[in-house]
Each structure stands twice: as structure tokens, then as C-alpha cells.
A and B are shown apart, each in its own frame.
Chain A
């Protein structure tokens, strides 16, 4: 029975290492005299799944003579505590040595050690003020669990955005894409403003990165406008609303801008992110200029933003239009890595990103009815589009390589 506990570390109960015919001298010395005969027939027949079962079954008949010296010599420390219980009955020793082994692991570390380890860990994570920090953290958890928090009318949840989304995006933005932000001083620090950006990258990662960068640079939240598809998808829509997004429609855009929010819009939409890699950095049509009328109506400045690097994260080389129509999405991307590598293909390529915020385009100098003048709206739209396109070209000139 002793071999159930001791020998499985090495040779599964078989003597020696290679031949298996004759136990080594060390093994013979270790094994008790009574059970050397029992071990021999057992050795050649290797039953892998009964390896745990056999010792326990065999233990009961063969144990009584061999057990006391065996346990005393091999099982250290804790075996002493169990010994007084064993000798009385023949069935008991089969169970009690097993108990000693399992017990050895649990109370092996005293509770005091556990507590001090937890305290040390808490100190490591939360710093020296760990008690109050942990209390704060618990208070936060309880607030979340009891629903004691406030969301705004668009469903924006600042607490969860700050604590989870921004924290999760930070390493991606800073370590993976190594985002470099230029012209952050062009983002107004107060009041409503509309940030207009190019859209690329197959998956709207650029929107997330822009949201993070704006928060990082200005301490303001970027409220993005998303397509209706975003809000039709489960999870995506719910997370988008919690992160401050809302539907890209005139009512919501004007409501947010009038409320003094910093609103982000990607007027190219799916034409922008779903364009093939061969057309990278060529701006698509800027919607119907709805974002300009919204800015004109609320008289907020338009900040053009050019993003370089997002095009290369998922180079779109193919599409499956029939399948896309079937599912009801604008396109099914095929990149050099996806779907061939499966989930691994979903890892974005680590391109180097440059974000340049341009000079704000003022809209408060136009007349009241300017938003109703289609020609003016088209002109302003073209002005924004040209600005972004020119900035893209100059950023591309400055860029040494895609990944550096």
C-alpha cells in the first residue's frame, strides 16, 4: 500500500527504471519484506487506468503486517499524528494514510501564513493604503451590484468606461499600436465640438483608439456616432452605449453637440472601413454631409482628424458578398490571415499609428439658415474631406515604415 503514495513520483510502482524484471537494490531496501512478493507479479502487467485503484484494493489484504513500519519510515511528520488511530483495525489503515496525504497539503501552510500572504498581495496591488483602497474597490463593486450608479440619457456609463474600457484599451493603444498623437491642442477643452475622422481597418478599431486617445490627451470623453448595425448586434450595441456611443442620426448628433459634448463621427461609414487594401488612404464619399448640418445647426467647430496606421491592421484583400448579404452585414472580410488562421487571424497587425488633429473649422460665423443651404453644406463637407486627405498624404510621407 505504501507504493500508492510514494512511488508514483518515479516509476509507477515498477522496480528500477528500464527492464522491469528485477527491482533495484534501492527499491528492494525500501520495500517491506512482506510485500516484495506481492509487488512482483504486479510489475509486468501495466494497467494504466487501474493504477490508482489497485493499491487501494490490494492494500486491505496485504497491509496489516507491512503497514506500521512502512508508514513510520516513509511518511514523515504528519504520519505521526495518524499512527495512533491505525493499528486497531485492519480496514482503517487503508483509508487513514490517504487522509494523511491530503491533509498534508491543506494545513501544511498555516492560516496565519495565508492571511499574511493575502495582506502582502493586497499591499502589492493596492499599495500601502491597501485597506482603504480595498474598501474603495469594494464600495465600487457594491455600487455596481446594487445598481447604484447613473447613466446619462444615451446610456453612457462613465464609471465602467473609465475603469474597464479605457484600462483595457491603454496597453493596446500604447504598446501594440504605439499611437502618436499630434495637434491635441486643437481639441476644444470645453463646449461642443465635432471630431471628423477617416475610417479604415475592416473592424472599427480606429474609433476605439480615437476614443482612448482623446480621453488620454484632453480628459474629455469622445462620444462616438455609430451605424445602426452596431446597435442591432447583441453585446456590441450594449457595450457601445455604455461606452458613450449613440446612433449616427441628426437628432442624436445635435442633441449631443447642443449638450456640449465632444462628438466623434466617421462619415465614410462602411465604405471606409470595408474598402480593399489596394484603396488604402483614399477617402470615400463623406456620407451626405449630415454631420456638417448638425455642426452648423449647433454652431460647434469641426475638428478634422487623420488616422494613419489603421489601414494596415487587417489588410482587406477579399470579400464574400453573397454570405454577407445572407447574414445582413456589409461585408465579410478576408485578410491574409483571416479566416485562414482562425482566431489567430483576428489579431491585428502591429502597425505604427499616427493621429493628427487638424485646426478646427469654425461654423458659428455662418447665418442661421446655413444648415438648410445644400451648396454650403457640400462645400464645408468637401473642405473637411480635403483637409483630412491632404493631412493623410503628408503623414504618409513622414512615415518611414508601416511597422516602425
Chain B
């Protein structure tokens, strides 16, 4: 089956746009149609842009007319941001997905549906297992915000998969996407010059590099594997460790103050610390990616550490004085050859 026609939703934002472009470069794909309510801000290359709102039935006509066989749904947004208020965001996410899926169900030509979901569906709490597998439910179902939207979207996608068993439905639960050009709640959090943290908590974080997101979406379009998959870079990073790598000072705040700061920053449009992000930055989250490797057959190029390192290298450090002092002292001392030395041998016995 050569010459596939792929429809990508949500191309006005950077991730959707770059994904559509990388799909257009794929030899097995003949045409890529980008759909959004607003025209994309950057270069979309060979992608054909159709201005359409997925919240109304026009999208069905686009799918029917262009004879689309693959739909990549990327327009589930994490923040109201440019869309307006929370009401609009929910409308876009949930009603948009319902309309899109309704249109997909009518489209006879459709063979593959790829949905970009997020690991936020697992929530974050103190009762979480260390690593979520795809079969696990969140310990506390989300009641508001992005997490609830995504949970509903996934529910509709599962319903669609039941009704159209002939369509390969791939749901990708991606960890927080990070990269020099990514604008998201998490990246704007790390771009703050002084980074607030929750006092007494050190969450585990996982990241996915933006290029890996494009690769996995392309892989999902071409591989056609049915199912839900966690997608994240290898390894985990503690928040404290991440701040040290950024060389930015962290300010620990008590949990309640941190939540209050979230709304203050949101109203100042400085960063968006939504309640689910606050929970994430308190308890952290890890997802198990063995199914991604074994069944989906995808291997991320960047580990969590490398993805964050690349992101960190683009930000000017605002702290890190202590390290510079130590570096100056260390220069006067002999070179340390072995990398991770065993425990220090302290004279005077070990039972002190």
C-alpha cells in the first residue's frame, strides 16, 4: 500500500507542525494534510494545510474528500494558553476528539489512527507504584483539567477501537516532551530563573526528546501496531538533580504555598503550574517502557538524561557558584583518575 494520505490535527502548534513535516518526508507517505483552526506559525514544507475546526462536522468532509487512510490526532492541548479559557480547552480536547472520531468512524478508507496521549493520565500521588505499566489505572482518577480531558479522550478512543475493529488504533502515552524549542508547562517551569520546588519532596521525572516524539509518531504511522504504549526516554532524573544540571537555584516552598504560587504565576502568565503539574512536581511519576520496545519496536534515541541535558545546554545558568569555587580548588589538587571511587578510607577506624 504505497501513497498513503495522512491527516494530522493540531498543526498550528510546534509539535504538530514538526510532526506533520517529518511525516511528509517519509517515503511511504504520499500526502500529508494538516488541520487546525489557526494557520501554523512556521514553515510546514510539503504539508497541505486545511483550515478546519475539528469541533464541527466539517472535518468529516475533509476526511471523505481527501480519501484519508491515516489520522494522527495531536490536538489534545495541555494548557488553555492561546486557546482561551479552560472551557475552550475542554471543548477543543473532548468535543474535538468526539467529532474527529465520529468522522473517522464514517470514513471507510481509514486504516490507522494514531493518538498522542500523555503519561499525565496516570496522575501522580503518594500511592503510585514506581513505574506505571500500560494496564495500570491512576490511583486517584483525575477530576479536573488536562488529566481528566486526556482520560476522557482515551475513553472515546477505546470506544472507537471497539466499534471499528478493522482500524489499527495506536495510543502513545508520551512522557513530558522536552527540547530547546518546546514550549510547554514543564519547559516554562524549568525556564524560570529561580525555580520553586515543593519542600521535602524530590519527584522522579522522565522526559522524551522532541525529535523522539516525531520519530515515534512516524514509527506508529508506518508500523501499524494496535494498542496503548508508554513512550519515554530511558532512566529517571530527580528534580533536585535536574536543577543542579540546569545550574539554577531552587527555592523549596511548603506544599500549600507552592499551589498558591502556581495560580499567581498563571495569572502573571509567567508559567503555568496547573494542579496536575503541581502533583507531578510533588510525587513524580515513572512509566515502564518495555512494551514500547518489545511490541511497538521503538527505541528512543535520547535517554531522559540526554534529552534534559540538551535542553539544559540552551539555558544560561543562573546559579552554580558553589561548583565553580570547588572547581577552582580542585584544579590545585592532583587529577582524579578513577571515576567513581569506592568509599573514602577514613583514618581512625570506621566505627566513628
Please report A residues at the B interface, Cβ cutoff 8 Å: 124-127, 131-142, 144-155, 157, 159, 162-163, 170-171, 174-175, 228-229, 231-238, 241-242, 246-247, 249, 251-252, 255
Nearest neighbor of B322 in chain A, beta-carbon distance: A145
Interface size class of B (residues with CB under 8 A): 35 or more
User: 9 other contacts beyond A153-B236, A251-B129, A255-B129, with CB at 8 A cut-off?
Assistant: A126-B344, A126-B347, A132-B333, A136-B336, A142-B330, A147-B237, A150-B235, A159-B340, A247-B128
Asked whether, in the complex, the Cβ of A154 is within 8 Å of the Cβ of B330, the reply is no
Asked whether, in the complex, the Cβ of B351 is within 8 Å of the Cβ of A171, the reply is yes
Q: Is the interface of A mostly helix, strand, loop or mixed?
A: helix
Asked whether, in the complex, the Cβ of B236 is within 8 Å of the Cβ of A151, the reply is yes
**B326: which A residues are within 8 A, CB to CB?**
138, 141-142, 145
Asked whether, in the complex, the Cβ of A247 is within 8 Å of the Cβ of B130, the reply is yes
Nearest neighbor of A156 in chain B, beta-carbon distance: B130
Asked whether, in the complex, the Cβ of B245 is within 8 Å of the Cβ of A147, the reply is yes
Provide the bound-state CA to CA distance between A127 and B345, in Å. Answer: 8
**A237: which B residues are within 8 A, CB to CB?**
126, 200-201
Provide the bound-state CA to CA distance between A371 and B245, in Å. Answer: 44
CB contact under 8 A between A162 and B334, given known A142-B323, A142-B327, A251-B133: no
Provide the bound-state CA to CA distance between A237 and B283, in Å. Answer: 9
Rounded to whole Å, the gap between the CB of B219 and the closest CB of chain A is 23
Q: List 12 contacting pairs A-B, 8 Å CB cutoff, sorted by A.
A: A127-B346, A137-B344, A153-B130, A155-B204, A155-B284, A159-B340, A163-B343, A163-B344, A236-B200, A251-B129, A251-B131, A252-B131
Contact bitstring B327-352, A, C-beta under 8 A = 1, else 0: 10110011110001101111100111
- Residue B127, interface by CB 8 Å: yes
Asked whether, in the complex, the Cβ of A246 is within 8 Å of the Cβ of B241, the reply is no
CB contact under 8 A between A252 and B129, given known A135-B330, A151-B238, A238-B202: yes
Asked whether, in the complex, the Cβ of A153 is within 8 Å of the Cβ of B131, the reply is yes
**A144: which B residues are within 8 A, CB to CB?**
244
Asked whether, in the complex, the Cβ of B136 is within 8 Å of the Cβ of A155, the reply is no
**A163: which B residues are within 8 A, CB to CB?**
343-344
- Residue B199, interface by CB 8 Å: yes
Find A153's partner among B235, B242, B327, B341 (CB 8 Å cutoff).
B235
Which among A127, A155, A159 has the highest number of chain B CB atoms within 10 Å? Answer: A155
**B329: which A residues are within 8 A, CB to CB?**
138
- Residue B80, interface by CB 8 Å: no
Asked whether, in the complex, the Cβ of A133 is within 8 Å of the Cβ of B344, the reply is yes
- Residue B286, interface by CB 8 Å: yes
- Residue B255, interface by CB 8 Å: yes
| Leading 7 A-B pairs by shortest Cβ distance | A234-B200, A147-B244, A135-B333, A251-B129, A147-B245, A231-B126, A232-B126
